[in-house]
Amino acid sequence: MKNNKHEFALFYPNLLQQKEKQINEFGIVDKVVIQRITSILRLKEGDQFVLFDRQVHAEVTIGKTAKKICLIVIKKWYENKDFKPFITVLLPVLKRDALEAALYSIVALGASTIQLVATEKTRKWQGEKEFERSKRIVIAAAEQAKHYMFPEVKEPIKLSTALEIYKESTNKLFADPEGLCFSEVIKKSDAKKEFLLFVGPEGDLISDEKKTLKDQFVFCKLTPTILKSEQAIALLIGAIRMIA
């Protein structure tokens, strides 16, 4: 399906269930979704947009709408496809605004998985409330970018645990101003295999963490300047997407 910047995309959980029923139309009764369609997106009868969940997406048009129901007419179904190569991001628990910016960029640039990690210098995670907010940010970014098979965001784990879980990843890159030139590093990477990317938190990693990281990761320099964490991860993913 060709992307159209004027065509809205809206996340609709369990859309796959509608596809499996093999029906051409169904009614949405969720008040929040109806409000988004009619009041926020201001779509009306006959307008076309995209509904999606992580498995499928569909071109749809709006039938009749009312306060308690919105009729959706299916035009065409599509299976979602993930971007290649697969990119997993280990993302420190950054300060709130920085974390939101990082999540948005990671989704928009086509990452496959987001694993939040706690390091010695990351702030305290705020639990389920913050986790739900993070998931909403990911969905909003997916709607804007039309990244239908958007990445799952996983609750924070210790850095040591993350390194053990993802130790089999092929291309492991850590953005660091003291690292090797990125262009040289990427030449030696297998662009057809998955990438595991990591950036430090505000204030960087402590020396022991960096020492442990060097056993597994290639340290690479992205620019001659010092970048914020959210800038570094966006640049790192974007550079890989451009060449791989």
**DSSP, residue by residue, 81-126:** ---SS-EEEEEE---HHHHHHHHHHHHHTT-SEEEEEE-TTSPPP-
Could you tell me which of 193, 201, 187 has the C-alpha nearest to residue 239? 187
Could you tell me which of 229, 237, 221 has the C-alpha nearest to residue 93? 229
Between CA 89 and CA 41 the distance in angstroms is 31
What are the pLDDT tens digits along the chain (244 aa)? 454 447 899 999 989 999 999 989 999 999 999 999 989 999 999 999 999 999 999 999 999 888 789 999 999 999 999 999 999 999 999 999 999 999 999 999 999 999 999 999 999 999 999 999 999 999 999 999 999 999 999 999 999 999 999 999 999 999 999 999 999 999 989 878 999 999 999 999 999 999 999 999 999 999 999 999 999 999 999 999 998 7
Between CA 220 and CA 233 the distance in angstroms is 12
Domain 9-79 has CATH 2.40.240.20: yes
What length does the chain have? 244
Between CA 237 and CA 216 the distance in angstroms is 19
Percent of the chain as helix, strand, coil, to the nearest 5: 35, 30, 35
Structural contact between residues 93 and 123, judged by C-beta atoms closer than 8 angstroms:
yes
pTM (predicted TM-score): 0.92
| Domain boundaries defined on the chain | 9-79, 87-243
DSSP characters for 153-205? EEEEEEHHHHHHHTTT-SEEEEEEEEEEEHHHHHHTS-TTS-EEEEE--TT--
Assigned fold of 87-243: Alpha/beta knot (3.40.1280)
Torsion of CA 185, 168, 234, 224, to 10 degrees: -30
209 is written with which tokens? 């963490």
